[in-house]
Amino acid sequence: MSEIGLLIAADASRDLRTLPSRPEMEQAMLAGDGSYDGVFVVAVRTTGIFCLPSCRPPRRPRPENVEFFGTIREALFAGYRACKLCRPLELEGGQPAWVEQLMARVEQTPHERIQASDLRGWGLSPERVRRWFQRRYGMTFSAWCRSRRLAEAFTRIREGADLDDVALEHGYASHSGFREAFGQTFGQPPGRSEQTKCVVTAMLDSPLGRLLAAATDDGICLLEYTDRRMLERNLATMRRQFAASIVPGQHKWLKLLSDELAAYFDGRLTEFTVPVTPRGTPFQERVWNELRRIPHGTTISYEELAARIGQPTAVRAVANANGQNRVNILIPCHRVIGKNGDLTGYGGGLWRKRLLLDRERNRPN
């Protein structure tokens, strides 16, 4: 295994506290339990291959020859190849069937209070559900459901609905309980919701992996690859810059973004119309605005980008602002390359940068 792979594996081992216990993972592996797909992957040292827990190879690996990773990315960077039988890369950015069914239930009946006993009745372990949502969304399943209810309540109140009616509609037995939950999430009581701000988030699938998108009423303020190491820091920065709580939900700009991304990756769209509202320093915002002027299918160098904003000697600062872009694809920092034509750093990985540029250059007629 390469030195870089060992470093990544060591980093993954430091994060084992977020994974199920090793005996639990071994048991799931031996049973081929598909409900653990998306929670961890199984890497076999003797073959150099990693699989989903549900994979059923002709011969089960011996536990002493196995190591576990929390993400497909960690397994890849540790030097393992994807199994051709269970095809774990097809799960990248996706989610197990049990998660899709659970989330669909929440969307159909958002006011329903799902208890641990309900999960067990559906054949799901509450601990497993909690871990999966914690790893993927940074919150427990209960917190995710609560945020969905409150986000919807927030919208209803701003539309003029009666406070008591909203509290009862969203499963709160008392006005005071609703006010407390609302205040904890949004930072102020529901009676002042006209002044309350929130950033609405959603997960979007793409050919390059899963994306976390976020929107305010002004437009898209975040579009990041979910496997990027800076994701949590960027979320914290966004929360501070917008002085707003971050909640999962639906929003008109997220719907438009999803439709336009699909058209973009299909080669049917070259210019996005969804509004973008990044927050940064005045210098960063100048760089980001200039990035949006780079035509689809073309590239420029960092030197040219610096010249375009009228600061030809600020190449290093321009490169840093480029790297601080938190609205990928819409603000096309991938269109900036080295002066000699080589691809240079990209937060989502050079392989994504290469694929984006190839798609734009070879768009179908």
Q: Which are the catalytic amino acids?
A: 51, 333
Q: Which helix (H) or strand (E) holds 69?
A: strand 66-69
Q: Which helix (H) or strand (E) holds 290?
A: helix 282-291
d(CA 209, CA 225): 7
Using the CB atoms, write b or e for 42-51: b if 16+ within 10 Å: bbbeeeebbb
CB-based contact 242:253 (threshold 8 Å): no
CB-based contact 139:147 (threshold 8 Å): yes
Q: Which helix (H) or strand (E) holds 326?
A: none
CB-based contact 259:277 (threshold 8 Å): no
Q: Which helix (H) or strand (E) holds 360?
A: helix 350-361
Q: For tokens 């999966």, what's the residue?
A: 132
Residues in CB range of 309: below 8 A, 6 or more apart: 286, 287, 290, 318
Instruction: Give me Rg for the CA atoms of the chain.
Output: 22
Q: Amino acid identity, residue 140?
A: T
d(CA 199, CA 192): 17
Q: Amino acid identity, residue 58?
A: P
d(CA 41, CA 205): 20
CB-based contact 179:169 (threshold 8 Å): no
**The tokens of 171 are what?**
């499963």
Q: Which helix (H) or strand (E) holds 292?
A: none
